[in-house]
Chain A
């Protein structure tokens, strides 16, 4: 049992079998995470570096817990200071850390392609924890896990992905992963947020949320990252909420049994209203829970842990 890839840099390189393995293994780890003693010796003695060149609280916490529960030794580096700012090249940073014999880098960066650049400077395994506007593959795995747990399948599902599509690494990973698993993503957002070439992903793109909502099984709301917009693409939070926010009226347009996902942190009052965020249809906390299990699965599979260690 092994993945077809050495690193987890994107979802585009993953086969359906890879994704199924990660989700299935994630299920076993979810069981571990529900025990009183949430720790297995699967990666005992392995060293994992969390290199966060861009600030992150949630993703880093999720990876750290996953590492601790696998009994790996982990080291946190970065914070808000990019090595580039300090004048050291990324290559030097990676070679320096690698010289201390580490097994894995988990990297978050504001620049696309950074995880690939890391692979060129180390023999260690690299997991992309989000690179700029490009990809965020472990987010896609936890999303798929959550959706699969709810529906019991991914094949044939329709998923509306709503929001700031062109700046979203979440969409960048989720769209190809859904396609690989036989689901149909539909992109929804104002033209100023739409991707330049949806045909590359083989998906439809529209600005009409109300027309899409009754047709889909999952409404996946992206966080509108005001800090990432770099130029006003929408006039106001209020107007965005009116046109693209999910409130009670829109929630009632949804299919019976359909769900709402959000990668967090939520902007309540913008992309989602309070009562919707706290409704049973919203699976936001299930996604967070799934994040630890699927990250454990990805790290475990990539580092080739003992098959009976959990």
Chain B
């Protein structure tokens, strides 16, 4: 095969000369007639007897496929996998799918037209074609028109072909050798290609893996996450008193948090706890106590809270006899208005919460000073 010549090529000066030569050479039936020209020549397809390009059909099919793909994809996502209602439209509103359907149709169709033409129909890229290394190539991409008689079988007679070309008016006749080896389908080539694909896959896979790991963690701009703000229990230089948390401006009344015990503590002694003593109320009281009172008064209401040391203050030991003798109303008053260093909690606790915590404090006091009588009540 390698000793055989592949084709005989001759040059023409004008497209007219080329067109006149084509029928003569085709009639000679020495081989496939192919033309090489710097630009497309009108009517040469018919002259060479080329079959019609199937590209139109391919593009139509792929375009329709693109439209269906886009519709199916959008429908599945919007109506089935992740149905959220936006803008009051139904999850399967086809109207909104049309723009993307159109774009994907065009995308599929153009890639079929472009790549289908290059890769499938013209079998490019192909760097090993003998014409590419011919002397005539320089003219072909410039201003010469070439005709080639290409071998159809082993019986190709290059001398006869050269003669026929000359008779048809061609100049600079050149006999092109078949390439030493086909650039495709040698074991070496296949191995290298497969190796290349493998390496490419490896690199792409690693790259994508690391990108996916790394990208979402990227945060070049953190101002929105790390902004200066006041924490409730932290010191802050922003306020004069150095506290992060500030009591409400005196006289502030939050909605639903009416301060009721506004008189003196003594006057509040007559107030009666309106809440029943049941499980729910104690649970509520306990929740309020642990979140609001415990840091200072301690879990056992003995004045040994975790903040005591930090502040150097001495919160009341609610287990002291003085406080055990308090009527409910006086404890309630202290919760609402605060006492000594303790701030008022009127702005934070609703009326039922305040009374619930009173019940809970009572329970703590009784628990710390339990008698045998109490045990009898618990275990009937």
Do A and B assemble together?
no
Question: Chain A interface (Cβ within 8 Å of chain B)?
Answer: none
